[in-house]
Amino acid sequence: EPEVTQTPSHQVTQMGQEVILRCVPISNHLYFYWYRQILGQKVEFLVSFYNNEISEKSEIFDDQFSVERPDGSNFTLKIRSTKLEDSAMYFCASRGDNEKLFFGSGTQLSVL
């Protein structure tokens, strides 16, 4: 069964460093998303991406965040200068023409 894959599964970084989280969405999907989940809390929307541009973003997704689809398969989330409060599990998700959203297993980001 096709699945969304994310790398790395764990990322530890120092405060102020840049991190790039990587995702390979399901191959025929057109809509891509990043969500995050702080430990024990709800899953929060960050950004959606369609047709090579951001279609929606939340107030969490400030100037420190950016997304990119550098080639036909990868979808990345960059955090330019990480803060302690960026520590969370980051989930990539994708969907095709219908509304069903499929999530990857996540990248656990720890900012020290």
Partner 1 sequence: GENVEQHPSTLSVQEGDSAVIKCTYSDSASNYFPWYKQELGKGPQLIIDIRSNVGEKKDQRIAVTLNKTAKHFSLHITETQPEDSAVYFCAASNVGRRALTFGSGTRLQVQP
* Residues of this chain that bind partner 1 (CB under 8 A): 4, 33, 41-45, 48, 56, 91, 93, 99-106
DSSP for residue 38: -
Provide the b/e sequence for 2-39 (b: ≥16 CB within 10 Å): eebebeeeebebeeeeebebbbbbbeebebbbbbbeee
User: Smaller CB distance to partner 1: residue 81 or 110?
Assistant: 110
Q: How far is the CB of 89 from partner 1 (least distance, A)?
A: 8
Q: How far is the CB of 61 from partner 1 (least distance, A)?
A: 11
Amino acid at 45: F
Interatomic CA distance for residues 64 and 73, integer angstroms: 24
User: Smaller CB distance to partner 1: residue 7 or 81?
Assistant: 7
Q: How far is the CB of 98 from partner 1 (least distance, A)?
A: 8
Q: How far is the CB of 54 from partner 1 (least distance, A)?
A: 11
Q: 43-50 and 31-37: which strand pairing? A: antiparallel
User: Smaller CB distance to partner 1: residue 48 or 87?
Assistant: 48
User: Smaller CB distance to partner 1: residue 14 or 59?
Assistant: 59
